[in-house]
Amino acid sequence: MNEIFFIVEEDPEGGFTARSLGESIITEADTIDELKKAIIDALRCHYESEAEIPKIIRLHYVKEEILTYA
């Protein structure tokens, strides 16, 4: 596997959460920069060897917005 995808969402209580698609990897951090480092750390913990870690990590940012129609 050369790529792994993460869905990045802003946490309502503050910070950010990243969830991988196709793997059981979830991590969180206070800032986007910290989250990127946390994703790398989570990948190192999840895979048994460095050779197994996907070389491309895609982050898909999801932002929820609510509109009301009155």
pLDDT at 1 over 70: no
Reading the block at residue 6, the tokens are 């993460």
Q: Which amino acid is at 53?
A: I
Cα-based distances in Å from 63 to 11, 15, 39, 49: 10, 13, 19, 33
pTM above 0.75, yes or no: yes
Task: Pinpoint the alpha helices (H) of 1-70.
Answer: 32-46
Residue-wise pLDDT tens digits, 21-69: 999 999 999 999 999 999 999 999 999 999 999 999 999 999 888 899 9
Reading the block at residue 16, the tokens are 């950010």
